[in-house]
């Protein structure tokens, strides 16, 4: 086919345009699916304590004060107006740490934090604003650990539609220890199967009777009731606040074939600072044996303790019957039906073997009658 010059030029122009558009498509940065990231971090973390990169931690005597700061970070594409404020700590359900609401004026440890007049700041997109504040411990502060919160919340108008209107905010725990006679006390106070919700949970409660918080490791082990072989282990490190009962929930391990299971618990903490009494474990081999300990042990209360080794509390053992899953249930049902049919067949065959001529005799009797 012979192309005229104008056709050739047009074709070249189209090819060039397509190439340019393609290039633009590659070069122009695609709009990122950025989530509205608005949060905060401590502005002055301590090099020797990595935990201070996430939360505020101080040891302060009564009457002492310290300057602090929080970096409010806006990683979204729009400028944001942000409220920054202190609150008292609060306990959410299951003993979890949370922050009181902005509507509740701090009257406890939250009142130790002073943001001055700086409560609302505008943070430009992809930028950080440092908001300073001071922590001042009252002269009559008691010994022990005290908790508060620093919260950032976007300042925006509420929805007017029907239903539950949701506002989101981020909080940072503030942990202030007033030095002195520190008391540590932990007790496993409850373990049961919680069936109130849509899914049953193993619910383990540890009560902290001391005046400092504890980082504890709690593990729940599920074993077969018959032979004791282990099925599942769940757990983790959790924060137990002083004076509070922490409830940890774990999903129930469901062995495919179901059956009776026994669920035991073990709580481990750093034993330094405790003084001796009660059932204790001092090395990992004992911990392993305790996980397989006799069933039906009573609750163990750990009193103040002077052994510096790691400490473990063992809780009660809970038994429950777990239903097999759908596949196993089908196999069980099919097997049961097959067994019933086999037994029935066996009985029928045995019956006719015992009485082989019964049918023949009945026929003969019938024919005699008809004659």
Partner 1 sequence: MTFPQKVASSAGALVAIVVAIIAVAATVGGLVYVLASNTSSFTQNINAGTLTTDIVDGSYASVASPSVPMSTLTFSFSCQTSTGSFGTSTENIYVQNPDGADNGWTLSLAASATTDLWTSGSNTYDFNDSSGSGCTDGADADSKGGQMTVDPSGGTLLTGQCASCATTGISKGSSTPFVQDTTDSVTLLSAAAGSNDIGDWRFRGVSISQKVPGEQPAASGYALNMVLSVVAL
Number of residues assigned to the chain: 371
Q: Is 306 helix (H, G, I), strand (E, B) or coil?
A: coil
CA-to-CA separations, 247 to 12, 93, 227, in angstroms, rounded = 73, 8, 29
d(CA 34, CA 36): 6
Q: How far is the CB of 123 from partner 1 (least distance, A)?
A: 11
Q: Which of 207, 267, 257 is nearest to 236 (CA)?
A: 267
Maximal CA-CA distance, the chain: 124
Q: How far is CA 131 from the centre of its chain?
A: 31
Closer CB to partner 1, 101 or 333, in the complex? 101
Closer CB to partner 1, 74 or 185, in the complex? 74
Select from 68, 84, 86, 97 the one that contacts partner 1 (CB under 8 A).
Answer: 97
Select from 58, 68, 73, 274 the one that contacts partner 1 (CB under 8 A).
Answer: 73
d(CA 59, CA 64): 10
d(CA 125, CA 346): 81
Select from 85, 112, 238, 274 the one that contacts partner 1 (CB under 8 A).
Answer: 238
Select from 69, 98, 282, 324 the one that contacts partner 1 (CB under 8 A).
Answer: 98
d(CA 131, CA 73): 11
Applying CB under 8 A, the span of 112-120, 162-170, 185-193, 328-336 interacting with partner 1 comes to 162-170
Closer CB to partner 1, 50 or 360, in the complex? 50
Closer CB to partner 1, 4 or 103, in the complex? 103
d(CA 168, CA 77): 18
Q: How far is the CB of 26 from partner 1 (least distance, A)?
A: 22
Closer CB to partner 1, 49 or 139, in the complex? 49
Q: How far is the CB of 277 from partner 1 (least distance, A)?
A: 28
Closer CB to partner 1, 189 or 249, in the complex? 249
Q: Applying CB under 8 A, does 370 fall inside the site for partner 1?
A: no
Q: Applying CB under 8 A, does 79 fall inside the site for partner 1?
A: no
Residues 190-219 that bind partner 1 (CB under 8 A): 194, 196-199, 201, 203, 215
Residues 118-137 that bind partner 1 (CB under 8 A): 128
How many CB atoms neighbour CB 228 within 10 A?
10
Q: How far is the CB of 138 from partner 1 (least distance, A)?
A: 24
d(CA 86, CA 109): 9
Residues 166-185 that bind partner 1 (CB under 8 A): 166-173
Q: How far is the CB of 351 from partner 1 (least distance, A)?
A: 53
Select from 25, 29, 50, 67 the one that contacts partner 1 (CB under 8 A).
Answer: 50
The angle subtended at Cα 63 by Cα 58 and Cα 69, nearest 5°, is: 40
d(CA 292, CA 223): 9
Applying CB under 8 A, the span of 17-25, 244-252, 264-272, 319-327 interacting with partner 1 comes to 244-252
Task: Specify whether the CB–CB gap between 246 and 93 falls below 8 A.
Answer: no
d(CA 309, CA 269): 9
Select from 61, 237, 284, 333 the one that contacts partner 1 (CB under 8 A).
Answer: 237
Task: Specify whether the CB–CB gap between 316 and 299 falls below 8 A.
Answer: yes
Q: Which of 33, 42, 35 is nearest to 152 (CA)?
A: 42
Closer CB to partner 1, 170 or 189, in the complex? 170
d(CA 245, CA 90): 13
Number of residues interacting with partner 1: please give it, by CB under 8 A.
68
Residues 252-291 that bind partner 1 (CB under 8 A): none
The angle subtended at Cα 242 by Cα 234 and Cα 194, nearest 5°, is: 40
Select from 108, 189, 249, 282 the one that contacts partner 1 (CB under 8 A).
Answer: 249
Q: Which residues of this protein are in contact with partner 1, per CB under 8 A?
A: 33-41, 50-51, 53-55, 73, 75-76, 90-94, 96-99, 101-104, 128, 149, 151, 153, 158-173, 194, 196-199, 201, 203, 215, 235-239, 247-251
């Amino acid at each position: 086919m012979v192309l005229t010059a104008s056709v050739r030029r047009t074709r070249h122009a189209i090819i060039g345009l397509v190439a340019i558009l393609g290039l633009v498509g590659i070069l122009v940065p695609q709009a990122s699916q950025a989530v509205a990231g608005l949060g905060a971090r401590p502005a002055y973390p301590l090099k020797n304590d990595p935990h201070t990169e996430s939360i505020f931690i101080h040891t302060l005597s009564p009457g002492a004060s310290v300057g602090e700061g929080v970096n409010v970070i806006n990683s979204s594409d729009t400028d944001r107006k942000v409220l920054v404020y202190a609150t008292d700590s609060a306990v959410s359900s299951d003993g979890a740490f949370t922050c009181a609401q902005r509507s509740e004026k701090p009257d406890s440890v939250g009142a130790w934090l002073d943001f001055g007049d700086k409560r609302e700041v505008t943070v430009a997109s992809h930028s950080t604003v440092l908001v300073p504040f001071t922590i001042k411990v009252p002269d009559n502060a008691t010994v022990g650990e005290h908790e508060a919160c620093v919260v950032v919340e976007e300042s925006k108008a509420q929805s007017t539609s029907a239903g539950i209107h949701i506002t989101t905010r981020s909080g940072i725990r503030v942990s202030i220890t007033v030095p002195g006679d520190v008391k540590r006390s932990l007790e496993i106070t409850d373990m049961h199967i919680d069936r109130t919700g849509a899914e049953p949970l193993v619910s383990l409660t540890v009560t902290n009777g001391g005046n400092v918080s504890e980082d504890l490791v709690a593990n729940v082990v599920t074993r077969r009731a018959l032979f004791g072989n282990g099925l599942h282990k769940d757990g983790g490190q959790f924060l137990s606040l002083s004076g509070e009962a922490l409830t940890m929930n774990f999903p129930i391990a469901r062995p495919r074939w179901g059956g009776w299971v026994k669920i035991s618990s073990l709580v481990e903490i750093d034993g330094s600072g405790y003084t001796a009494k009660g059932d204790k474990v001092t090395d990992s081999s004992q911990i392993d044996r305790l996980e397989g300990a006799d069933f039906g042990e009573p609750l163990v209360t750990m009193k103040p303790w002077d052994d510096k080794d790691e400490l473990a509390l063992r809780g009660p053992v809970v038994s429950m019957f777990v239903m097999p899953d759908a596949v196993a249930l089908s196999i069980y049902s099919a097997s049961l039906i097959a067994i019933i049919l086999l037994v029935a067949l066996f009985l029928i065959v045995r019956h006719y073997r015992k009485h082989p001529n019964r049918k023949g005799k009945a026929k003969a009797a019938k024919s005699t009658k008809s004659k």
